[in-house]
């Protein structure tokens, strides 16, 4: 049963609409779908990551089983090759665990015109798999190279190529019934507040409001909601240790090392207060999807069943359940 024990309330919110992770249907203009019912899992919360050399990847069967046990009904795809690349096989695997596909993280070198044909081929292949498997969110992350993330100084032509590339991916996604959302990320080419703002000002692309990476990049996620709520297409919800983030931004540790030191703790155990972002979004009428994404790096052996990343995920679910209860407000006692 999805999120067993969670209270389910229907709340009226004028103008709200909700789309499933792979659906275009609306649930009714005045219907509000409860927070946990539109929260997807992500393999990164189990240590499965696109960044080269990240750490041990748990077996897919275990990760998907633990997602279902935790109550999730949808998941992102995870790193390339982790789950099947055949859409029929992928859908069958997810269905066996009671899951659907919500989206896929796709690193693309959109700044480079010299590699444009290869980048477009990579984007097309990822989009076609996502669409065929019933997913919805094509999560673009602009990187120097999908296999080696660096941050070179960008020229005016690089920035122009990024804007053109995002428009091209938008068209690709629209033709396949997908939605592109841009993911700002540490070590990507869109990381800092200034870089995020440039994209806001010079493109029409929707964003993943990534509470962790926005914060590390210097952009308060609540402020982004206040200024640009109409540009939020998806939310990746994280908490952050600001002490570890400061060491990361000072260059004292790498992203991998920062994660190992607790950069992204379970929700409610860090310094960010993710409930503030959620509350701000919901007050604007946001009715889209959230993804519980707390990056984990497993550098030791495989943890025993019932231990490991699942425990942190369950802590975060309880946090979201408490936020959902606050959003729903008091209910009348029943006889």
pLDDT digits (tens, 9 = 90+) for 223-238: 999 999 999 999 999 9
Measure the CA–CA gap between 22 and 91, rounded to whole angstroms: 12
The pLDDT of residue 333: 54
Residue 267 has pLDDT above 60, yes or no: yes
Measure the CA–CA gap between 212 and 198, rounded to whole angstroms: 19
Query: Residue 15: is it exposed, middle or buried by C-beta count within 10 angstroms (0-12/13-18/19+)?
Result: exposed
Residue 293 has pLDDT above 70, yes or no: yes
Residue 39 has pLDDT above 50, yes or no: yes
Q: Does the pTM exceed 0.95?
A: no
Q: Which fold has domain 34-328?
A: TIM Barrel (3.20.20)
The string of pLDDT tens digits covering residues 75-114 is 999 988 899 999 999 999 999 999 999 999 999 999 999 9
The pLDDT of residue 277: 98
Provide the mean pLDDT of the chain: 89
For residue 115, how many other CB atoms are within 10 A of its CB?
14
The pLDDT of residue 147: 85
The region of weakest confidence among 137-141, 277-281, 324-328 is 324-328
Measure the CA–CA gap between 68 and 71, rounded to whole angstroms: 5
The residue-averaged pLDDT of 59-85 equals 96
């Amino acid at each position: 049963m999805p999120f067993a024990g969670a209270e389910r309330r229907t709340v009226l919110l004028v103008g709200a609409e909700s789309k499933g992770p792979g659906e275009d249907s609306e649930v009714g203009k005045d219907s509000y779908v409860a927070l946990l019912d539109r929260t997807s899992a992500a393999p990164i919360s189990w240590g499965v990551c696109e960044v080269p050399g990240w750490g041990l990847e748990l077996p897919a069967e275990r990760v998907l089983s633990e997602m279902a046990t935790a109550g999730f009904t949808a998941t992102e795809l995870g790193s390339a090759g982790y789950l099947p690349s055949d859409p029929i096989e992928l859908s069958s695997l997810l269905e066996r665990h009671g899951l659907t596909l919500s989206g896929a993280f796709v690193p693309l070198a959109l700044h480079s015109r010299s590699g444009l044909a290869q980048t477009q081929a990579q984007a097309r292949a990822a989009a076609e798999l996502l669409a065929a498997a019933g997913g919805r969110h094509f999560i673009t992350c602009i990187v120097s190279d999908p296999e080696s993330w660096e941050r070179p100084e960008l020229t005016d032509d690089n920035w122009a190529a990024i804007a053109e590339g995002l428009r091209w991916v938008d068209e690709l996604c629209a033709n396949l019934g997908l939605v592109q959302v841009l993911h700002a990320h540490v070590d990507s080419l869109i990381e800092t507040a200034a870089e995020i703002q440039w994209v806001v000002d010079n493109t029409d692309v929707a964003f993943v409001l990534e509470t962790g990476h926005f914060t590390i990049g210097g952009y308060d996620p609540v402020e982004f909601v206040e200024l640009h709520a109409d540009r939020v297409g998806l939310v990746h919800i994280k908490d952050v240790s600001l002490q570890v983030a400061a060491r990361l931004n000072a260059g004292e540790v790498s992203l991998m090392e920062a994660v190992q030191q607790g950069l992204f703790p379970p929700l409610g155990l860090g310094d960010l207060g993710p409930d503030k972002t959620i509350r701000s979004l919901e007050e604007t009428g946001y009715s889209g999807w959230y993804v519980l994404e707390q990056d984990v790096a497993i550098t030791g052996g495989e943890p025993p069943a019932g231990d490991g990343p699942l425990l942190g995920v369950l802590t975060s679910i309880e946090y979201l359940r408490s936020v959902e209860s606050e959003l729903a407000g008091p209910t009348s006692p029943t006889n």
